[in-house]
Structures are given as structure tokens and as C-alpha cells.
A and B are shown apart, each in its own frame.
Chain A
Amino acid sequence: MAVIKVQKLTKNFKDLVAVDRVSLEIEEGECFGLLGPNGAGKTTLVHMITAVSLPTDGDIWVLGKDLRKYPRRIKAMFGVVPQIDNLDAELTVLQNLTTFARYFDIAKDEARRRSMAALNLFRLEGKSGSRIKELSGGMKRRLLLARGLINNPRVLILDEPTIGLDPQSKYLVWQKLRELKGQGVTQLLCTQNMDEAAVLCDRVAIMHRGRVLALDSPKGLVERYVGPKLLEIEVGADQRDSINQELQSRGLDFEDAAGTIQVFHCDADRLAQELEGLSWNLWPRLATLEDVFFRLTGRALVE
């Protein structure tokens, strides 16, 4: 059974359709990624799934239960790590965790034990008595993650968990998320970080303007939309037409983007050899999720 099942979910804010008839199923134990530019509707979708925001239309089922009918029981199974820092600035680091544990009716001693364990897990054990304003940005993020684990959640919902983190902290977080997946914790991960999605997620949905444009494993998405390897050709001003003509005559799938032409779904190495005589500056490279992302959502700014 799907852990989270979303059916034709829609959210309107006045004139704006933030989420537009999205249907998704997230399976037990998987890490499911939501990838999309700003304003794609990822956060709104997550807010609806966590009952912080009410859908305009559509249904959300968690382990077969209707979220509208059993919000408390369902929320008790969730661990939520928000995009923005909403820690209790007036409380200490430890109090932030024990206070949160109390919302889940975790008894005092147990709450303290779990809080210390969560602080250890994210290397914050030396900060338990500190005030929130004494923490660095990275420490706050880690504390938000620790807080999200306080109820031993069955489903972890993460909205940009590594935004603004230095590479070391990011690596630590990825490592912990992998460990949690190993323990069977289902994860829903919103991110703009392509590496993060590629490294952590079993399946990724690419969202744009409130809709899901594509849904597959990261590898599957790359193969389907750009091919495993692509060829990039640097375009000089006077070369554009001739390159376009040549590629067209070969019937290739290519895109002209900001001074570089990318050729998709091709045997990039062989094509590079064949084109060698034309004295173009070109190079084959492995395709990434980012290429898929740009193909599907475009290169223009979305706001």
C-alpha cells in the first residue's frame, strides 16, 4: 500500500493555481523527491500533506486513512523538516526538542533521552544548553532535522533540508538520511539541488507551475528526456546557422541554449568523432538530472 497517496490535489490562492490536480503515490521505504524551480508548488504541496494548509480540491490518503478525518493520527507518524527556520528562539536547544516531544505526548524522561540521542546524531551534543541565536546557520538546520526525528517518524518530510549548508554538513545530512532510509523510514524530499535528488531519491517528480511534468527514477528521467550522454557544442556567432543545419540534416534532437548547443539522445562519443573535421569546439559529457530539469522547465526565470 502507498504510504502517501495524493489524488487530483489542487490549491488556489486567489488568482494563482499553486498546485494543479497533482496525483502521486509514495511507497513505503522509498525516498521520493520533488524537484522544481521556485514557485513550482512543492512547498504548497508539502503543506497540504502535513495538514498545515487545506486543499482547495482533491484527496490525501496516508496509509489508507483520509487526512481530513484523521489529521492528528496521521501527523503523529510524520517528521517534518521545514524550509524556514521556525525554531523556538526563546528556548534552549534542548528545550526546543523536549518541547517538540511533548506535542507528541512523549513522556519527560523519554523525551530527554531521545533529544540527547538526536543531538548526538547531528553532532550538536555540545550545544544542548545554548540559545538558538548562538547557533550557526548549519547548526540550526541540523537542529531542525533532529527535531523532525523526535517522534521516530514513519515518514520524514523534508523541505530543502540542506539549503545553505557547507559541503561537510550537507554530506553529514545525506549520510543520515541514507541511514534512515536503511531503517525503513519513508522520505518525501523537496529540493532544488539536483545532486541531492540524484544521490538520495529512488524516484523524482519534476514539478513546474503547479503540475508534475515527469516522474521516474533519476536514471530513468535522464534516459528518457536527454539520454545517458550528451554532446555540447560551443557556438560562435557566425557558426550558429551552419551548426543548426548540420544537426538538423542528421535528424538529431538538440537545443540551442545560451551559446551552447546540446545534442540529446545521441551516441555522443561517436558523434564527436564524426564531427571532428568541422573544427567546432565540442565535447561529450554524462547527462545529469539538471539537463532533464532544464529541458522540462526551461531556462527562463520563473517567478
Chain B
Amino acid sequence: MRLPSWRFIRMWQRNRDVFLRLWRSIAPGFIFEPIILLLALGLGFGHFMGVIDGQDYIYFIVPGVIASYVMTSATFECTYGAFFRMEYRRTYDSILATPLNIEDVVAGEIFWGATRSLVTATIILVVAALFQLLPSPWVLLVPVVAVLEGVMFASIGMVFVSLAPSIYSFNYYFTLFIAPITFFSGAFFPLDSFPEAVQVVSSIVPLTPAVELIRALVQGEFHPGLLLSLAYIVLLAGLFFFISMVAMRRRVID
């Protein structure tokens, strides 16, 4: 297997420059949507939910909103975005004729996806802070988890890109993978409300450990099981990162 070099930063810079030109038109998705969701669910829905785990519902879902939008930010970038660049714009072809190899391009995409996750997490945190929804100083470590979670979902997305026959394939990815795991992750309601069998599924979907870690940091309450959550994210991120290198080389170069 070939590894990416430091040149991945060139792909990252390219994506950043495009983002800086376009961010106004994509802002609704990563700024307003999470804020609206947070306030609508938290204040509106929360009124009927009452108290969960000893706190108002809006406090409960702040970490859930962060974790799920961190996931979708990286995922959009490394599914529709990457596929569009690869198949329609032929951006990869132009870059591969320079000293960058396919591994640099893919790593650049993944770390850019993680950067989008970081931006999204930061925006939601700032809004949550303005509404005084962040009780613990440990919240300052949430961006670290956001980056890890971003690398994980970006890498999983890139593996799917390497397999996708057309851009419509991503409808399946979002409907059958992203949407269910959002609900099985404990992001918007506690996992213990599920039957036991579903709880087993919940414990292995990759969003769950991210929700647990971010919730612990936001609330400042820790338990040893969190180390396992962290290890799980790192393991999945690393595994899919390397699979994406091999799979994308096969897709693009062979």
C-alpha cells in the first residue's frame, strides 16, 4: 500500500480556497440548519420532553447536534463533493498530472472533510455558549473529538466514493446509513429507551462513541467507558483511512 505524503496539504489548500469563495452559498447548511435544529428541538420539543438524565432537554441535545452535524459536514464533503470533483469536474485528473499522487489527493479530501467538521462544531459551540448551554470548561476539547470524528466519517465516505457507480448512489448512503445511525446514536434521545437488541446495534454504529465523548466533555462528567469510545473512533478512523487509500487508487488509477 502507498501512503500519502505531506503534499496532501496542497489538495487541502485547494479545497479551502474553493470554500472561501463559496462559503456564503453553502452557509445555510452548516450554520443556520444546526442552530435552527438546536433551538427548535431544544426549546419547542424540549418543552414536552421535560427532564432527561437530570437536565433540561436542550442541554441534552447540544452534544447530539454537534456530533450529528460534525458527521454530516465531513460526509457531504467526502461523498457528493469528492465524487463531483472526481467524476464531473475531473479535478483529480488535473491534479494527478502534477507531483501529487492519488493518496495525497484522497488524504487532502479527508482532512478537508475533517476541517469542515471542525468549523461546524465551532459554530455550534459558539451559539451554544451564547445561550449559556455549556456548563463545563472541558467543552474546549470538543473540537479535538470533532476532528477525529470528521476523519472517521470522511474516510468512510471516501471508501463509499471508491465504490459508487453514480452520484445517485449517495442517496442510499444517506438514507440507509447516515439517517439511521443518527437515530441509533443517542444524539437526540437516550439509548436506554430502546429494546435491548437495538441497543446492541446502537453501541456499534460509529456515531455513538462520538456522541458519548462530546456529551461527556460538554457536561464535564466522565467514566472509564469513554476510553473505549475514544479507541473505537481512532480504530475506525485509521482503518477506513487506509482502506480508502487502497480503494481510491484502484478506482482512479487502474
Residues of A within 8 A of B (CB): 50-54, 71-73, 75-76, 78, 80, 82, 84, 86-91, 95, 99-100, 102-105, 151
Contacts and interface: CB of A to CB of B under 8 A. Distances in A.
B18 A52 contact: no
A82 B91 CA distance: 11
Nearest to A80: B97
A54 B254 contact: yes
Contacts, number: 72
Contacts of B101: 51, 71-72
- Chain A CB within 10 Å — which of B5, B13, B18, B94 has the most? B94
Given A88-B14, A90-B22, A103 B253 contact: no
A271 B10 CA distance: 65
A100 B17 contact: no
A54 B254 CA distance: 5
A86 B98 contact: no
Nearest to A11: B254
A52 B7 CA distance: 17
A53 B89 contact: no
B14 A52 contact: no
A289 B46 CA distance: 79
A86 B254 contact: no
Nearest to B98: A103
Going nearest first, the 6 A-B pairs with the smallest beta carbon separation are A103-B98, A86-B90, A80-B97, A86-B94, A72-B99, A90-B18
A75 B89 contact: no
B97 A52 contact: yes
Given A54-B254, A99-B14, A89 B99 contact: no
Contacts of A76: 98-99
23 contacts: A51-B97, A51-B253, A52-B93, A52-B253, A54-B254, A71-B101, A72-B99, A72-B100, A76-B98, A84-B90, A86-B89, A86-B90, A86-B94, A88-B14, A90-B21, A91-B21, A99-B13, A102-B10, A102-B14, A103-B7, A103-B95, A103-B100, A105-B99
